């Protein structure tokens, strides 16, 4: 079967198709503000559209720390607005009047907008930057009977709803990965939703509690969200979803090496309210670019196991256009929308 290769993205998503004027990697704003136009932004506030503990939350808090410690801005408070795959936070962003607002987002919103029939779409926001790329990891509780990824996937294909899997929001990267694994196991788009007993969560902390409490049989999330629990032995990693093994989990095979021809990575970035001025947009790009170029941000990437995927401008637009098409098609192919 042909390998399924998807870099799952959404931070600028369809908004980037219509809105340009950001910078390319490491650069400054491509489109200058109108003559005499100045930004009103002096500080930023960061919205994390998920509960504490997950990858979006980690991203938002890492940004806040670097932005303030390096004095890129004076203040960068973080607020959590969890629920519905980030679409509750997306609705709040649509009503936001402060142009200095950045909202963390990622692939989850692509599926969540569809599965929740959200009235607010990514087209209604202003893309700022893509930040990171991260492999996912499939884990089980430390005492699980599942020793390999094949053990788990084959049991789901055989027993269906008796086997429970948890992860992030419905339609998000974690959910998609579970569906792709079953597709590779030979199930079709009508069988996958019937077989897959997936418990979505609004934040990584909830998934961790379910796994550690033995309430579910397996979990899927970004490596950074489960790393400490793998390290301390309370979770066992079965496989990672990237092209290559993850440096922080050198003994854990890729999903491909484990026998399933799937390569999938998750993407995170930031957007701003729709309709902000070109000057404010350029200033937000400048702020995020300065953060990205700092030693402190590079240290955060290394400590969290995130790949540096910084991108803005037209290159991001093209990347997003192709990947949104791929992700939407995949969601349909595996019966999730």
What domains appear along the chain, each with residue ranges and CATH number?
A: 10-132+269-321 (3.40.190.150), 135-264 (3.40.190.10)
Nearest residue to 197 via CA among 208, 182, 185: 182
Token pair of 72 as six digits: 């890129």
Percent of the chain with pLDDT over 70: 88
CB neighbour burial string for 159-186, b if at least 16 within 10 angstroms, e if fewer: eeeebbbbbbbbbbbbbbbbbbbbbbbe
Kindly indicate the confidence band of residue 312, based on its pLDDT and cuts at 50, 70 and 90: confident
Question: pTM, whole model, 2 decimals?
Answer: 0.80
pLDDT tens-digit readout, 185-241: 999 999 999 999 999 987 778 999 999 999 999 999 999 899 999 999 999 999 999
Least confident of 100-104, 200-204, 268-272, 293-297: 200-204
Contact 220, 237 (CB under 8 A): no
pLDDT tens-digit readout, 223-237: 989 999 999 999 999
DSSP line for 250-273: TTSPBTTTTT--EEEEEEEEEEEE
pLDDT above 70: residue 36:
no
């Amino acid at each position: 079967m042909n390998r399924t290769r998807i870099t799952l993205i959404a931070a600028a998503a369809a908004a980037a198709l219509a809105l340009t004027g950001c910078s390319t990697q490491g650069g400054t704003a491509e489109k200058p503000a109108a003559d005499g136009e100045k930004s009103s932004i002096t500080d930023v506030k960061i919205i994390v559209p998920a509960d504490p503990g997950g990858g979006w939350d980690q991203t938002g808090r890492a940004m806040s720390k670097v932005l303030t410690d390096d004095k890129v801005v004076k203040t960068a408070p973080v607020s959590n607005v969890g629920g519905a795959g980030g679409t509750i936070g997306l609705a709040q962003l649509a009503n936001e009047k402060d142009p200095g607002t950045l909202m963390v987002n990622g692939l989850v919103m692509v599926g969540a907008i569809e599965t929740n029939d959200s009235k607010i779409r990514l087209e209604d926001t202003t893309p700022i930057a893509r930040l990171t790329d991260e492999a996912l990891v499939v884990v089980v509780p430390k005492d699980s009977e599942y020793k390999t990824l094949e053990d788990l996937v084959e049991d789901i294909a055989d027993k269906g709803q008796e086997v429970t899997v948890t992860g992030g929001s419905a339609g998000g990267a974690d959910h998609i990965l579970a569906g792709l694994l079953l597709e590779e196991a030979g199930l079709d788009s009508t069988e996958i939703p019937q077989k897959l007993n997936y418990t979505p969560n609004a934040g990584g902390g909830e998934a961790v509690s379910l796994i550690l409490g033995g309430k579910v049989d397996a979990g899927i999330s970004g490596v950074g969200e489960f790393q400490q629990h793998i390290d301390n032995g309370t979770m066992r990693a079965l496989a990672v979803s990237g092209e290559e093994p993850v440096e922080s989990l050198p003994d854990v095979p890729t999903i491909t090496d484990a026998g399933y021809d799937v390569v999938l990575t998750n993407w995170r970035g930031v957007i701003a309210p729709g309709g902000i001025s070109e000057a404010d947009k350029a200033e937000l790009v400048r702020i995020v670019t300065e953060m990205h170029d700092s030693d402190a941000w590079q240290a955060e990437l290394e400590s969290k196991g995130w790949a540096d995927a910084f991108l803005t401008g037209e290159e991001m637009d093209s990347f997003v256009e192709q990947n949104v098409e791929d992700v939407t098609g995949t969601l349909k192919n595996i019966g999730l929308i």
